[in-house]
Amino acid sequence: MASEGRVFADTCRLNGVSGWDLLCVPGGLNALDVALDNAFIVEIRRLGGGVCYVTSVCTGSLILGAAGLLRGKRAACHWAWRYLLPLFGAIPDERRVVKDGCVFTGEDVTAGIDFALTVLAEIAGEKVAQTLQLGLEYAPAPPFSAGRPENAPSEILVNYRDQIASLLAQRETQACEAAARLSSIC
């Protein structure tokens, strides 16, 4: 399948996957749209129940939550949506990468590399993860200290919150609906 110059080969539908060792669910602004896709959530629940590692980045943790895979687990999520995790029985954690048993969650897009290195260290050992980190020359040094709400200048935080304000109510409604669906099957 080709899309905008990218090619995805050897793909299959989730219901065609019999199992794997690691499930990784990415996030994005449409994560709660996906969390309301019953067929998708059923497959994530099925696959997540049989893997060694259940993982997500950013708002992917909300999808894992909607699938019932975060009950009683500490989990990371993008700060603007983290407050929705308890709807799914998860315990919000502000760390960039959270490991709770076999569940690994990364806070946001930039934490994705930290998350990947943490999971790699778990699977292949710290030396392998450190070698990859060196190969990537991953030594973050952000130009500003505005990457977290508690560090961002108040004007920047207010501006960002204003930008996402219209999404907040919609996403909260979607999360409540997904949580209600989860409660009805458990």
Residues noted as catalytic: 58
Query: What are the b/e assignments for 157-182, b being 16+ CB within 10 Å?
Result: eeeeeeeeeeeeeebeebbeebbebb
Phi, psi values for residue 179, rounded to 5°: -65, -40
Cα-flanking dihedrals φ and ψ of residue 27, to 5°?
-110, -160
**The dihedral sign for the CA sequence 55, 35, 33, 86:** negative
Amino acid at 166: S
In 3-state terms, what secondary structure has residue 55? strand
